[in-house]
Structure 1
């Protein structure tokens, strides 16, 4: 990088830092409005597991057909 580019970045850095300060994470400090039941937790975790593992499983079962195409 040239010296002029580095100087330009150095001049913009304080302005960029100030623009990022007002943003705050949405952290909740209160308990949930309605507690999550055991059934809802099981359904949620099951769905996430299936959604994550199903494509990988399909790929692994069909990998031989992908090898034959090449």
Structure 2
């Protein structure tokens, strides 16, 4: 879903960077795009499942969301 959102919310022709790694404690995936971005409060609400992303995009900002597995 993270990659799908990166594609959906990024401007056409932009670069989406996907990276991953692991260590003895955890594995991680990083998806970096140039989509609409979020402020800290919106990010916290989104991660708690209390906020959805608006459809209107501000293509000048950048959003980073890292997931730990």
TM-score of the pair, normalised by structure 2: 0.16
Q: Of Structure 1 and Structure 2, which has the larger fraction of its residues in helix?
A: 1
| Relative contact order, higher structure (CA 8 A, sep 6+) | 2
The structure whose residues are more often strand, as a share, is 2
Task: Give me the TM-score of the superposition, normalised by structure 1.
Answer: 0.16
Q: Which has the larger radius of gyration?
A: 1
